[in-house]
């Protein structure tokens, strides 16, 4: 028998409205008991993990990860991406289908499932494509993707521009009870924009990616979700107008939802102008970096680690995304972990690919901007990483209910640490947060009761 007692932690399970200092017993890969029953039922001599002053919660879920398999394994693989996920506290991740070839058929879905079974450190679920080859022209075989086990469909990285085609996709998705996740970007408005259209794009001479380019597609998705009854989830929301549109639509019962990524609610477009410009103004609002004398991380202007899609926006948009997270308009937190090789990013800003890695920093940044700033309590932050994405994707995960899989994350919400390149498990190093002092750190990640990752220093006595 394989048993482990997580002793004396602050156990937070939003799905069961549980928040109390107690024990959790894991046995044979399942949650065997929570609360007083846990130590009572623990077998004699059970292995203990002292979780005093730590949070014990359901294993975190990231529904927006680029694992780059198949075809782009120089950037990331199932092995390295899931290792990064485990370090970040994630027990389930959903990989995006914009690979090479795209995940637009049952065979490729099976390939990912096989690779995940062989090399995955954590659970990998697959999002299938909406259109063949993610070309936006012809629907992918949505029923066959569903049969192959996809948990959602999306053309992420791209956006279906043809509204009629999107409507058909939603009608099919509804038949199969799949959520349609959308990267909201109107190509005619955005054209070849590389950063937020505003003061800094003008000052830096870079082509602008206007907020309306996202808001327009969010509005389109709301109308189509309302017309078809299909569930639509808007990915990586970055613009104030998008948050307001979602708020209104959800208020009248439209089946629409949204997610936010830490870079969009931590950084702003001023970061593209270099660290000095950023810290002088927008950076002051970041938790932990307001104190005088703090030596803040430095970077040059036009640093491609700050190029992502959608782009970092102005402080007003950052505040609107935070407000949307606080009032529940945005119900999911995720990374949009998007690894790229050094040589791809080490070019002029215009030519660099969009995207940054995020699995290892998203929990800390979310705690800093939401919990440590007292915008949200720990249960609310944890819900956005666990039961909310699980419900959206219809996953039997995201809770510590007795009998469920023992996917558990143990983290220290108050631990300060510095994110160092030598400690990243990802195959790529395109993060803007290297060298940052962060607050909140995973110390153990259990998948099916097994240790997917344990921080040696913290749990050396285990
Ligand atoms: Zn995207």
Convert the pLDDT of each residue in 89-105 to its tens digit: 999 999 999 999 999 99
Question: Is the pTM value of this prediction over 0.85?
Answer: yes
- For residue 437, CA distances in Å to 264, 334, 364, 373 come to 18, 20, 10, 16
Task: Calculate how far, in angstroms, residue 23's C-alpha sits from the geometric centre of ligand 1.
Answer: 39
pLDDT digits (tens, 9 = 90+) for 44-63: 999 999 999 999 999 999 99
How far does the centroid of ligand 1 lie from the alpha carbon of residue 236, in Å? 7
For residue range 118-159, list pLDDT tens digits in order.
Answer: 999 999 999 999 999 999 999 999 999 999 999 999 999 999
C-alpha 178/C-alpha 231 separation (Å) is 7
How far away, in angstroms, is 17 Cα from ligand 1 center? 32
Over residues 412-424, mean pLDDT: 95
Q: How far does the centroid of ligand 1 lie from the alpha carbon of residue 237, in Å?
A: 10
Q: Contact 7/23 with Cβ under 8 angstroms?
A: yes
Catalytic-residue membership of 336: yes
Q: How many angstroms is it from 8 CA to the middle of ligand 1? A: 40
pLDDT, residue 293, reads: 60
Reply yes or no on whether the pLDDT at 290 is more than 80. Answer: no
Residues sharing a CB contact under 8 Å with residue 135, sequence separation 6 or more, in sequence order: none
Pick the catalytic residue from 13, 156, 186, 336.
336
Tally of helices (H runs) and strands (E runs) in the chain: 16, 18
Average pLDDT, the chain: 96
Give pLDDT, residue 456: 76
The pLDDT of residue 108: 98
Kindly state the average pLDDT of the residues 365-394: 98
Query: Residue 182 C-alpha to ligand 1 middle, in angstroms?
Result: 8
């Amino acid at each position: 028998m394989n048993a482990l007692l997580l002793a004396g932690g602050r156990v937070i399970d939003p799905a069961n409205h549980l928040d109390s200092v107690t024990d959790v017993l894991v046995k044979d890969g399942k949650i065997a008991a929570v609360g007083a029953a846990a130590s009572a039922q623990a077998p004699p001599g059970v292995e203990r993990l002292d979780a005093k002053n730590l949070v014990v919660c359901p294993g975190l879920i990231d529904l927006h990860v680029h694992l780059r398999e198949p075809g782009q394994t120089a950037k990331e693989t199932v092995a390295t991406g899931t290792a990064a996920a485990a370090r970040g506290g994630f027990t389930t991740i959903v990989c995006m289908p914009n690979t090479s070839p795209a995940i637009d058929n049952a065979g490729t879905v099976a390939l990912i499932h096989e690779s995940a079974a062989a090399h995955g450190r954590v659970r990998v679920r697959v999002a299938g494509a909406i259109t063949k080859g993610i070309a936006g022209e012809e629907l992918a075989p949505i029923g066959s993707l569903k049969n192959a086990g996809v948990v959602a469909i999306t053309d992420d990285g791209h956006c279906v521009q043809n509204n009629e085609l999107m409507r058909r996709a939603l009608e099919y998705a509804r038949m199969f009870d799949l959520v349609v996740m959308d990267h909201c970007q109107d190509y005619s408005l955005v054209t070849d924009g590389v950063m937020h259209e505003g003061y800094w794009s003008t000052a830096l001479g870079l082509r602008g990616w206007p907020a309306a380019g996202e808001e327009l597609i969010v509005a389109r998705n709301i109308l189509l979700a309302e017309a078809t009854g299909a569930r639509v989830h808007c990915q990586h929301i970055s613009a104030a107008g998008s948050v307001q549109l979602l708020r209104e639509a959800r208020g009248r019962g439209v089946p629409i939802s949204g997610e936010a990524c830490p870079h969009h609610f931590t950084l702003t477009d001023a970061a593209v102008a270099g660290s000095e410009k950023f810290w002088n103004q927008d950076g002051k609002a970041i938790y932990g970096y307001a104190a005088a004398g703090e030596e803040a991380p430095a970077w040059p202007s036009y640093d491609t680690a700050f190029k992502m899609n959608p782009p970092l926006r102005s402080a007003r948009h950052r505040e609107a995304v935070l407000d949307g997270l606080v009032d529940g308009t945005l119900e999911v937190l995720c990374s949009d972990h998007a690894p790229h090789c050094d040589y791809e990013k080490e070019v002029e800003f215009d030519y660099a690919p969009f995207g940054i890695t995020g699995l290892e920093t998203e929990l800390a940044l979310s705690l800093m901007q939401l919990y440590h700033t007292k915008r949200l309590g720990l249960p609310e932050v944890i819900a956005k990483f666990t039961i909310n994405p699980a419900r959206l994707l219809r996953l039997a995960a995201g809770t510590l209910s007795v009998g469920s899989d023992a996917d558990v994350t143990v983290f220290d919400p108050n631990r300060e640490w510095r994110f160092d390149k030598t400690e990243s498990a990802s195959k790529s190093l395109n993060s803007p947060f290297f060298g940052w002092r962060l607050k909140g750190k995973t110390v153990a990640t259990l998948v099916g009761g097994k240790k997917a990752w344990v921080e040696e220093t913290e749990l050396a006595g285990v």
